[in-house]
Each structure stands twice: as structure tokens, then as C-alpha cells.
């Protein structure tokens, strides 16, 4: 706080007149203290209210126009009221001010045109293939959309003593003890509620994996939060202790023991505040206000995100539109892409790998001209590691359905129910690029979970639970394609020899799917006749040997059959 006051007091000197004649006339001299006070207030607005970092580029951007305006006003007024002040002097002084303003404006407008290569290089996208996208355990694929988590959190707010005092903060997905949860901090509802409250009451946890798991309200004292005011405002508290860093993002997370923390991603600007680079995180205890600063390589393992979504979003844009430089961006347009818009606040969404590490996902479509109808397919997709900032581009998904198309297909499937599709995410499920799309009613209640093959919109499955959806999707895959259905590295191949109890044969569009019940096994086994033609002759009482990937699902695809 002291440094903010000192910086404001020192930089207020730039509000004083640079024209010496101003200091010689009593009628002008009496305004000097007023101008200094205005400059001091301007500094407080920048650094205390606006939380501007006190770096050199920030000071230049904020105060250089003030110098230009001051030169123009001072020289004009002196020329008007001092008969001895020559026109040439006034013109020269005011002209310098005009040059400063015009030069700064031209630089600010034109500089981005020369940063195409810099922005593409910093995005640092690496092209990879599906082999680098490991299958994810079905159990840990998040299917609960943010809007449904917010809906359930809002209901739970009624358990507070004074629920009208508070609002829900930003809901974010994170890993907690090898499971995924939506975590929502409880914030103050305005300055009067902050003044009357001793502290914010805590946070709410909603499972991102199981929509039927009950949400949990965790009561814990939090004094330093983003919605607090004055010295208890979280960002202002961090700024007072770290005046020079660029605060890029603030998010709420909990550690493995459920202790709450606010994570402030910090960094610096390059290219005169045009390109932001993340340096690390500042972890704040919302109860005591204690802060600890970590470089990104040294951040605690429980911290899910170091790179905020808006950084991932802008780097995806740079990677897509600045290939081969600025000229190609506007004229050649060779190989240019852009992220698909899903209608959400963020154009990226959080997905996890097999270790539940968070990445920002978005798919890319070909670059569209203004007013052109959006493409229905993607040319690839990207994963932006939320801890390291590494950007991987999966071009081998080219020609697959994009996220917007997957949402439209899901909504059309349930047109009669008037369900709304949530933000889609793409995973490697059973060896296939697969869209996972949650569907909600108009009250944001989760109603269906739908899985759609990114390669073929006719292959999909859905259900009210994750198990139902995955079972239906696996059945569709086994009946519609000749590809082996591979659930992934979390399951083992099992071989059994047993007696057939019942058989059902489903003849569908020149392809026969055989469903088999086997004695002593409480599940349905399926196989495609196009893969094993002799399977159509299986009858009850036959002894067969089958191999399958044991995922524990009710419907199980047969990988190998000996009959």
C-alpha cells in the first residue's frame, strides 16, 4: 500500500506544467497544487482501484498521453493570456504534445500488425497424433456440465444462515484426491453485505463425474475474497504485496485436505504489453491473507491450473491465424484455422488425461470469412496444458465432426424434450475420437449424457447415467463398425469358455449384431457378424470361447470369438 502511495505521489509530478512560463504567472501558478492533487488521485485510481502493475511499460502507457495533453493545453492557455508569449513558442510546445499523442496512437494501432510471427512463435504448437492422446478411464471422464453444477450449488446456498448476503463465485473444475469436482466459492453480494458479514462462509463441491452424487457445502472462514472491499479485496491484497507483477487470473482451488486457497496466476508482458507470459502463481490463504509466490515449475502438485483459459484462448487464435505470417493471414490464407465457437464465455473447456491433469481443449475449423456460414467439421483440435502451457495440435482428427455439430446433433436427437446441449469435450473412448455432450432441460437440470463418434454422426449412444451412455455407445460401435473397440489401458483382456444361455440376433441395414447371454455372467456380450460371420449360427447350449476387455459395463463387446 505504501509503495502505491509513493508511486502515485511521484508520478503526479508528470501532471505539473512543463512550460516554464506557467510557473511565472500568478494566475496560472495557483492551479499547480490542484493539478498535483489530480495527478495523485489519478495514480490512486490506476494502482489502487484499477490494480495496474507498476512496471515501466504500464507507466509509459498510462502517463505518456497525459504529458502530450498537458503540453497542448499549457501552451494554448499561455498563448491566450500572455501577450509576451510568442506564437512560435506556443506552436512548438503544443506541436510536441500533438506529436506525442499521434505517435502513441499510431504506434498502439499499428504495432499488432508486426507481431504476427512473434505471436505464432509464442503459441509454440506442436503437431501430434492420436497415439499421443491416451485413453481416459471412463470413471473419471467429467459428464456434469458447469451450468448443472451451478444449479445444484445455488440450491445448496439455502442452507446458509443468511443466504441473501452471498452469491456464487466462479465455478471451476479441478482434481481433488483422484476425482474431479466443480468447486464454487461463496462470495459477498455487494459492499453492504460485506460490511455486515464477518467473513465469507466457504465453498461448495459438486462431483463432475457422477451427477447423482450429493453436493457438499464446506463451511470455512474466508476473509480475503475477490468480492470483498478495500484491504480485504483479494486482488488488492495481492497487489499491495506484489506491486510489480502482472496479475493475469484468479481462481479458487482446494488442496487434498479440503483447505481453500485462491490461486493468482502472475506474469509479465512483452512486446509493449501485447503478449502476456505466465511466470507462476501466488497462493493466498483466504482466512489469514498469507501469500506465497511460486514459479510455475515449483507450484504445488495440487494446483490444477497455472495458465488461465484466456491465455489458452488467445494462443489458440494465434496458432490458427498467424501461420506463415501476417500477409498469409489476410491474403493467402493457406492452412489457417480458428477455434470453433460453442456459445460459452470461454471458447476453451477443461478436459483431463489419464492422470487427471487438466488441459484446455478446443477444436479448430477452417478460417471463416465474416458472414460465412460456420463449418460443420473440424480440421483438428488442440490441448493446452494448464500447468506447463504446452500446446499440442491433433491434425489427424481432420474431417471429423466439430463441437458445434455435436451439440446440434444432440439437441436434434432430443428435440421433443427441448433439451439444451452443454459444452462438448473430446476424448479417446474405445479407441475412437468421441464427443461427450451433456444435455439439460431449460432449468439447467442434467437429463441425458450423449456420446457421439467424431468420425460418424450416425454412431452415438446416450443414457441418464454415465454407465448407460457408455454401454449404449459401445453397443453402437460394435454393431456399426468393423474396428476393434478398445476401452484403453485401464482394462485387461479376459478370455473365458462358457455355455450360451440365450441369443438375440439384430438384423440392421445389412449388418447383423448378435447379443449373447452366457451362463454365470450377468452381462450382455455383443459381436458384429461382419467381423465374425459364423457368429450368426450360435445357438443356446453352444460352448464358445470369447475374449473381451473387461470394463465392468453391462454391455460388453467381444474382441475375439472361437466357435
- The Cα 154–Cα 109 span in angstroms is 44
What pLDDT score does 434 carry?
93
Q: In this predicted structure, what is the pLDDT of residue 453?
A: 93
Q: What is the pLDDT of residues 515-553, one digit of tens each?
A: 899 988 888 888 878 778 888 889 999 999 988 877 666
Each residue's pLDDT tens digit, 309-366: 999 999 999 999 998 888 887 787 788 888 887 665 567 888 998 888 999 999 998 8
Q: To the nearest whole percent, how much of the chain has pLDDT over 90?
A: 56
pLDDT, position 490: 40
Question: How does residue 77 score in pLDDT terms, banded at 50, 70 and 90?
Answer: confident
**pLDDT, tens digit, for every residue of 381-395?**
999 999 999 999 998
What is the spatial distance between Cα 189 and Cα 446, in angstroms, rounded to a whole number?
27
Q: What is the mean pLDDT of the chain?
A: 88
389: left (phi over 0), alpha (psi -120 to 50) or beta: left
C-alpha cell at 473: 455407445
296-331 per-residue burial string, b: 16 or more CB within 10 A, e: under 16: beebeebbbbbbbbbbbbbbbbbbbbbbeebebbee
Best mean pLDDT range from 6-20, 78-92, 461-475: 6-20
| pLDDT tens figures, 398-454 | 889 998 899 999 999 999 999 999 989 999 888 788 999 999 999 889 999 999 999
What is the arithmetic mean of pLDDT over 246-272?
Answer: 95
Q: What average pLDDT does range 499-513 have in this prediction?
A: 78
| Ordered domains of the chain (ranges, CATH) | 2-114 (no CATH), 121-129+310-341+348-400 (no CATH), 145-303 (no CATH), 403-480 (no CATH), 493-562 (2.40.50.140)
Which CA distances in Å does 142 have to 97, 134, 294, 352? 57, 16, 29, 8
Of residues 35, 46, 45, the one with CA closest to residue 12? 35
Q: How confident is the model at residue 202 (pLDDT cuts 50, 70, 90)?
A: very high
User: Which position has the grid cell 455435436?
Assistant: 406
Amino acid at each position: 500500500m505504501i509503495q502505491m502511495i509513493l508511486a502515485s505521489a511521484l508520478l503526479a509530478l508528470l501532471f505539473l506544467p512543463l512550460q516554464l512560463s506557467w510557473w511565472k504567472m500568478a494566475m496560472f501558478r495557483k492551479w499547480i497544487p490542484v493539478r498535483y492533487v489530480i495527478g495523485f488521485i489519478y495514480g490512486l485510481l490506476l494502482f489502487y482501484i484499477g490494480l495496474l502493475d507498476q512496471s515501466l511499460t504500464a507507466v509509459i502507457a498510462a502517463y505518456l498521453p497525459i504529458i502530450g495533453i498537458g503540453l497542448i493545453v499549457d501552451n494554448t492557455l499561455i498563448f491566450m493570456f500572455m501577450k509576451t508569449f510568442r506564437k512560435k513558442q506556443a506552436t512548438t510546445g503544443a506541436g510536441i504534445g500533438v506529436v506525442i499523442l499521434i505517435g502513441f496512437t499510431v504506434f498502439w494501432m499499428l504495432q499488432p500488425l508486426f507481431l504476427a510471427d512473434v505471436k505464432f512463435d509464442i503459441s509454440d504448437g506442436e503437431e501430434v497424433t492420436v497415439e499421443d492422446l491416451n485413453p481416459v478411464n471412463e470413471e473419471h471422464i467429467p459428464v456434469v456440465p458447469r451450468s448443472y453444477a451451478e444449479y445444484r450449488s445455488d440450491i445448496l446456498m439455502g442452507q446458509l444462515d443468511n443466504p441473501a448476503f452471498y452469491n456464487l463465485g466462479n465455478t471451476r473444475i479441478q482434481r481433488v484426491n483422484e476425482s474431479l469436482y466443480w468447486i464454487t466459492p461463496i462470495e459477498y453480494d455487494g459492499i453492504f453485505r460485506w460490511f455486515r458479514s464477518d467473513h465469507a462462509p466457504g465453498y461448495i463441491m459438486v462431483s463432475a463425474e457422477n451427477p447423482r452424487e450429493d453436493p457438499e457445502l464446506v463451511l470455512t472462514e474466508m476473509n480475503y475474497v475477490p468480492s470483498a472491499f478495500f484491504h480485504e479485496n483479494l486482488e488488492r491484497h495481492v497487489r499491495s504485496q506484489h506491486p510489480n507483477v502482472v496479475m493475469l487470473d484468479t481462481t479458487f482451488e482446494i488442496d487434498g485436505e479440503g483447505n481453500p486457497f485462491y490461486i493468482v496466476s502472475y506474469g509479465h508482458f512483452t512486446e509493449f504489453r501485447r503478449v502476456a507470459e505466465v511466470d507462476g502463481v501466488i497462493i493466498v490463504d483466504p482466512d489469514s491473507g498469507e501469500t506465497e509466490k511460486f514459479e510455475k515449475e515449483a507450484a504445488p502438485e495440487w494446483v490444477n491450473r497455472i495458465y488461465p483459459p484466456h491465455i489458452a484462448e488467445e494462443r489458440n487464435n494465434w496458432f490458427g491465424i498467424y501461420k506463415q505470417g501476417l500477409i498469409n493471414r489476410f491474403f493467402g490464407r493457406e492452412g489457417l484455422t480458428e477455434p470453433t465457437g460453442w456459445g460459452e464465455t470461454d471458447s476453451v473447456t477443461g478436459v483431463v488425461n489419464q492422470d487427471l491433469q487438466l488441459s484446455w481443449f478446443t477444436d479448430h475449423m477452417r478460417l471463416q470469412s465474416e458472414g460465412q456460414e460456420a463449418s460443420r467439421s473440424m480440421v483438428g483440435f488442440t490441448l493446452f496444458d494448464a500447468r506447463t502451457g504446452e500446446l499440442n495440435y491433433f491434425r489427424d482428427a481432420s474431417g471429423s465432426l466439430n463441437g458445434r455439430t455435436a451439440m446440434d446433433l444432440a439437441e436434434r436427437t432430443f428435440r421433443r424434450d427441448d433439451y439444451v446441449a452443454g459444452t462438448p469435450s473430446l476424448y479417446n473412448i474405445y479407441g475412437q475420437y468421441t464427443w461427450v455432450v451433456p444435455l439439460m432441460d431449460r432449468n439447467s437440470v442434467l437429463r441425458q449424457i450423449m456420446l457421439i463418434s467424431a468420425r460418424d454422426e450416425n454412431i452415438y449412444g446416450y443414457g441418464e447415467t454415465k454407465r448407460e451412455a457408455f454401454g449404449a455407445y459401445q453397443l453402437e460401435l460394435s454393431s456399426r463398425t468393423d474396428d476393434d473397440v478398445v476401452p484403453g489401458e485401464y482394462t485387461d483382456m479376459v478370455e473365458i469358455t462358457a455355455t450360451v444361455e440365450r441369443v438375440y440376433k439384430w438384423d440392421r441395414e445389412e449388418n447383423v449384431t448378435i447379443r449373447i447371454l452366457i451362463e454365470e455372467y450377468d452381462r450382455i456380450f455383443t459381436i458384429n457378424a461382419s467381423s465374425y460371420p459364423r457368429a450368426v449360427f450360435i445357438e443356446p447350449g453352444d460352448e464358445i470361447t470369447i475374449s473381451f476387455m473387461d470394463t465392468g459395463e453391462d454391455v460388453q463387446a467381444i474382441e475375439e470369438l472361437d466357435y
